[in-house]
Amino acid sequence: MLITLWTKFFFLGVTRTYPQHQISKTTNQILKQTTPHNSKSFERGSGGKLFQKFSPNKQTFPQKTITNTMRIKNIICVKGVSGYFFDDQKAVKTSAKADGEFYIGEAVTKGFSKVRQPGECVSVMLIMESGAVAIGDCCAVQYSGAGGRDDLFRADKYIDEIKKYVTPKLVGEKVDSFKRLAKLLDNIRVGGKRLHKAITYGFSQALLKAVALTQHNQMAQVVANEYDLEIDLDNPPKILAQSGDNRYLNTDKMLIKRVDTLPHALFNTVDKIGKKGEKLEEYVGWLRERVKILNDKNYMPTFHIDVYGTVGQIFDNDIKKVAKYLEKLADIAQPHKLYVEGPIDTGDRESTLEKLSGLVKILDKNKKVKIVADEWCNTLEDIKEFADKKAAHMIQIKTPDLGSISNSIKAVLYCKEKGVEAYLGGTCNETDQSARVCVHIAIATAPHLIMSKPGMGVDEGLMITRNELNRTLAVLKEEMLEYDFYLD
C-alpha cells in the first residue's frame, strides 16, 4: 500500500503543505532486494586492465526498488560566482604584467574585455514532481578560449539560451537513467551547433543528482551501476592541491594537511621559471627540503608541477633539451616522484601531440620523470588520441572542457584501459557543487588522481573535496554493512 507523507513548512509566517516521496517499501525491505555482485573491476592507476576476480574491498551495491519514476517539473536558473577568475592566457603569456591580483595590459582573446575577469557560473536547479531539487553548476575553466576551448562563458548571455533551448527539452522527462538523460542533453542544438560545454557540464551534474535522489542512492552508486563498475572502498583516489602563484605559503598549508600530490605551482610564464629554467630548479629544491621540516617518514608526497609550455619555450621546443632538463628536475626532486604538466605547447594541437609523444619516448629510457598532458585535451576524442599515441604518462581530464560529465567518466575509463594514468582534474574556477559531483565520479571510476577544487586558497578546495570523499565513503561502507547483515 502506498503511503503519502505530508510535511508542513513554515516560511515568513505562511504555512504551506508539500507532498513528499511515495515509498512502497520499508528501508529494510529495500535493502533485502539485491542484484548479484558483478565481478568486473578496474585496477587503480596505470595499467588499468579489465580483470575478473573476487575482491572483498570492491563493492557492487544492491539496487533499490523504486515504484514511481519522477519527472522533471521545472528548471530554475540563477547567476552565481565561481571559485576564481577568467584569465586571458594568451595575454598573460605574452604581454600582460601582473600587479597584485590584477593584470595590466590589453585582452587579446575573443570574449575578454580585460585580461582578468571575475569567474561566473549559472546554477541550474531541476525541480522534480516530488519537490526534490537537483543542482548543477554551469562553469568553465580559468583559461577559457585558449588551447582550442570554448569561448568565455558569461552567465547573462547563456541563461537566455538555457531557457529557450534546454528547459523545453528536459521539463517533463522521466528521471530514470543518467545515461539516457545525458545523451538527450548532448543532442540539443542551437542553430545547428552544440551547447556551450559549460552548459552541458552543469546540467549533467544536476541530472546525475536527480537520478540519485530518485533512486535514493549516492551519485557514485548511480555511476557504478550504469557503467558496470565496482567501487573500491579502501583505496580512494589521491588528491592534488594547487597553490596558484602563492606557491610557498600555500605549499606549507598542503604539507601541514598531508596532501597526497602537490603543489601545481602555476609556472605559467618564462619569467617565473627563469630564462634557463633556473628559478624552477630552485623551487623544486626548496620543495624537497620543505617536506623534511615535518620529519614524518610516513609522508612522501608526489611533486606535480604545471609549467604551461614554458619549458618548451626556453628550449625552442627541442624535445631532447626538454627531456634533459626535466630529468635534471627529477634528480633535484629525489626521493620524491616528479610529474611535470604541460612541458610543451607549440600553439596548435597536432604539433603539440607530436612533440609530447616524442618526449615520452625519450623520458621512458630512464624513467625518472613523468609528463602530464593538459592543453589540447579538450574533448573525449582528444583524450583518446593522446592516450592512443602515448603523448603523456598521465592525462588531465579537465572536466568542464569535456562538457557532460558522462564524457569525463568515459575518459577516465579509456585512459585506464590504455595504461595511461587518469587525472580527474578541472579548474580552480569551478564551484563547490561541481567539485562534489566530481568526487562521486572519482569514487566510481577510480582515477589515479583527483583535483582539489575550487579556488586557489588550498584550504577551501581541500575541505570540500576531502570531506565529500570521506563522507561518501563512510555512507557506502555503512550501507554495505547493512547489506551484509541482511544477507546473513
Question: What pLDDT shows up at residue 43?
Answer: 36
Identify whether the C-beta of residue 130 lies closer than 8 Å to the C-beta of residue 6. no
Q: Binning pLDDT at 50, 70 and 90, where does residue 415 land?
A: very high
- pLDDT surpasses 80 at 337: yes
Question: What pLDDT shows up at residue 187?
Answer: 97
Catalytically annotated residues: 398
Q: Binning pLDDT at 50, 70 and 90, where does residue 480 land?
A: confident
Nearest to 187 by CA among 195, 198, 197: 195
Q: Which of 40-54, 131-145, 212-226, 343-357 has the lowest mean pLDDT?
A: 40-54
Question: What pLDDT shows up at residue 68?
Answer: 64
Mean pLDDT of the chain: 88
Taking residues 311-326, report their average pLDDT: 98
In order of 27, 167, 242, 256, 358, the CA distances from 441 in angstroms are 26, 25, 20, 27, 32
- pLDDT surpasses 90 at 188: yes
One-letter amino acid identity for 80? G
Taking residues 99-119, report their average pLDDT: 94
Identify whether the C-beta of residue 443 lies closer than 8 Å to the C-beta of residue 469. yes
Question: What pLDDT shows up at residue 482?
Answer: 72
**Rounded to an integer, what distance in angstroms lies between the CA atom of residue 286 and that of residue 282?**
6
Q: What is the pLDDT of residues 245-288, one digit of tens each?
A: 999 999 999 999 999 999 999 999 999 999 999 999 999 999 99
Taking residues 463-472, report their average pLDDT: 98
Q: Which of 147-156, 273-282, 287-296 has the lowest mean pLDDT?
A: 147-156
Q: Which domains does the chain have, with CATH numbers?
A: 3-59 (no CATH), 72-226 (3.30.390.10), 235-484 (3.20.20.120)
**Rounded to an integer, what distance in angstroms lies between the CA atom of residue 214 and that of residue 299?**
41
Backbone angles phi, psi at 240, to 5 degrees: -105, 130
In order of 3, 23, 151, the CA distances from 16 in angstroms are 20, 22, 44
Question: What pLDDT shows up at residue 29?
Answer: 37
- pLDDT surpasses 80 at 171: yes
Q: Taking the model in full, what pTM does it have?
A: 0.86
Share of the chain above pLDDT 90, in %: 80
252 versus 4: the higher-pLDDT residue is: 252
Taking residues 63-88, report their average pLDDT: 86
